[in-house]
Structure 1
Amino acid sequence: MNLIRTTITRTLGFILGATIAAATAQAGPLADRLEAGEPIRLGFAAAPPWAYAGEDGSAKGFVNDITIAVLERMGHTNVEPVLTDWAGLIPSIIASRVDIVTGGMYILAARCENMDFSEPIGVFGDAFVVPAGNPKGIGTYQDIIDQDLVMVSPSGYNTIADAKAAGVPEANIMEVPGTTEMLAAVRAGRADAGATNALEAQRVQDMSDAVEMTDPLAFPANSRTPVGVGFHPEDDAFREEFNAELAKYLGSDEMMEKVAAENYTAVFLPDGQTTAEACKAD
């Protein structure tokens, strides 16, 4: 009898241990941090109006606004902003220095290999920032090639890969930390055009009378790309819960009122685009 009890006890212990181990494996690093009472660390670069730090260090920008609102709906209010360089966002989440990336990243196949994305929070296109009057008539990457011009873009932006794919030589592409440095390069004449997304191009144009943005429709139609919120690949369960709440919040009156100040309008709302499709696109 004692032998039977011992065997049963060991068997139950093995099953319980395996169940706990499996649950832990499924939980992911973010769930572990929440269980320990630690804050959710939002990683973002200074890229208004997408994401930036307020004067008090708080997380501002419409991607942060959307993310924080969805997290609150999930019951999470302990949030810690983590400002970093754009190029350091994906390495930070891989190394678990941040838990969520809210910088306004386009969902691209190369990024999907290293970071998991939420469903799209919006769909956006690109544009150039050029000297006022656009004296060189820049509107496409082909113009950069034909006139042997120099373009500048923040490191890690999709516009760098897009330019190379279009045939722009690497020697004609300047990389800088962010949009502020991009504007400085164009204003100083070190670059003929700054390539960025249309929202940031509009903001840069509003910042300086010395520059203007080009027509976003001059860019290829496939340059309109979904943007998502990034998660660690092991945080599947949390990301799925986030997506469920995001679906309820996205496009709501509450959301649109909140993000209006950052120039996010209904025209940017997803129209059937999915993360799965975006991750498969070339």
Structure 2
Amino acid sequence: MTGGADPGRRRFLTRASLLAGLAVTAGPLAACTRTQPGTGAPRDDGGLLAELRRQGFVRVGFAGEAPYGFQDGGELAGEAPTLHREIFTALGVRELRSTLTEFGALIPGLLAGRFDVVSAGMSITPERCAKVLFSEPEFVSPTALMVRAGNPKGVGDLASCAATGATVGVLTAAVEASYAKAAGVPDDAVKTLARQQDGLDALLAGRIDAFALTAISLRWLARTNRDAAVEVTEPFVPVVGGVRQLGAGGAVFRSGATGLRDAFNRELLRITGAPDRFVELVGRYGFTDREVPPRTLRTADLCAG
């Protein structure tokens, strides 16, 4: 998110208050508690997977951001739900019960117990790692810009946006805002948008000069708006504080869910360790072997910054 992400996806939490009234639940909530009695603290989660197996479903939160996690004809679709369904099925949990919410409300909703896993292709960042547990990377996707056809400003990355005075659109709670700031784009030249489609519409209306998001998200947006007079630049890797931002995303768990996270990782690495299998599962959403995370890319390093 990128897209509300990203693609990754890929977002900083800005308001922990976006909880009540934002979620649209596509499945009933489980009544079981996942905190230590009398304390409210996350419990040791060695038994959570067994609990999920007994009840037969896992509750997942998603943000309606294609191609990461969205509804297609009433069905939960996208990269993250597809991988997560495969993984949880292998773990003996066959059903994903989904809750749709705004991207910025996903982590607060997870921490409040509205769901067990965030299934939205969320970017792994140090700020988020301080609040939650991430799986190992599910995918990598560099950043790109969507611009009007012909690229009138001649921009190719965020540094060139800063140099030309371009106005840049980013999604609410998205990491791309921090990338733009690090590249020297002034705060008043960064416009926040709620949805991917809002970014494309703002671009066509001339309210922004470029829309920054993960390359995979922008390719999908262009694909689903084939008649729009826009184009997507070549991907680039932003740099923040001298560190390259690879745009890796993963599943998100509460801090106590180490047992569930570890079991999830074992199955995830079976998929990402076999690029053909990865593409077989999520190629329909525009993911290729270029989005397979390298074995050397670890969540612990991404969390360390």
TM-score range, shorter chain: 0.7 to 0.9
Question: Residues of 2 paired with 1:146 and 1:250: CA distance?
Answer: 38
Question: Residues of 2 paired with 1:119 and 1:280: CA distance?
Answer: 14
**Partner letter of residue 106 of structure 2?**
L
* Equivalent in the alignment of 1:169: 186
Alpha-carbon displacement from aligned partner over 1:228-258 (angstroms, at most 9, x marks no partner): 1111111111111111121223244444312
Question: Residues of 2 paired with 1:38 and 1:94: CA distance?
Answer: 22
Work out whether 1:261 is the aligned partner of 2:284.
Answer: yes
* Equivalent in the alignment of 2:232: 213
Contact 2:143 2:214 in 1 (8 A): yes
Work out whether 1:196 is the aligned partner of 2:213.
Answer: yes
* Equivalent in the alignment of 1:16: none
* Equivalent in the alignment of 1:17: none
Question: Residues of 1 paired with 2:232 and 2:47: CA distance?
Answer: 41
Alpha-carbon displacement from aligned partner over 1:60-116 (angstroms, at most 9, x marks no partner): 011111111000000001211111111111111121112111111111111111121
1:218 Cα deviation after fit: 7.2
The TM-score with structure 2 as length reference comes to: 0.78
Unaligned 5+ segments in structure 1 are 1-23
**Partner letter of residue 39 of structure 1?**
F
Unaligned 5+ segments in structure 2 are 1-41
User: SS in structure 2 opposite 1:237?
Assistant: helix
* Equivalent in the alignment of 1:55: 73
Question: Residues of 2 paired with 1:86 and 1:264: CA distance?
Answer: 21
Higher helix share: 1
* Equivalent in the alignment of 1:275: 299
| 1:60-209 pair list within 5 angstroms | 60-206=77-223, 207-208=225-226, 209=228
Identity %: 29
User: SS in structure 2 opposite 1:25?
Assistant: coil
Question: Residues of 2 paired with 1:67 and 1:138: CA distance?
Answer: 36
Question: Residues of 1 paired with 2:45 and 2:129: CA distance?
Answer: 20
1:31 Cα deviation after fit: 5.0
1:121 Cα deviation after fit: 1.0
Question: Residues of 1 paired with 2:167 and 2:297: CA distance?
Answer: 33
- Aligned with residue 226 of structure 1, among 235, 244, 248: 248
* Equivalent in the alignment of 2:27: none
RMSD: 2.3
Question: Residues of 1 paired with 2:89 and 2:152: CA distance?
Answer: 48
**Partner letter of residue 50 of structure 1?**
Y
Contact 2:88 2:94 in 1 (8 A): yes
The TM-score with structure 1 as length reference comes to: 0.84
Taking structure 1 as reference, are residues 104 and 225 closer, same or farther at Cα in structure 2, changes over 3 Å only? same
Give the number of equivalent residue pairs.
Answer: 258
Contact 1:139 1:219 in 2 (8 A): no
Question: Residues of 1 paired with 2:204 and 2:46: CA distance?
Answer: 46
Q: Quick check: which has more Rg, 1 or 2?
A: 1
**Partner letter of residue 180 of structure 1?**
Q
Contact 1:86 1:177 in 2 (8 A): no
Contact 1:129 1:204 in 2 (8 A): no
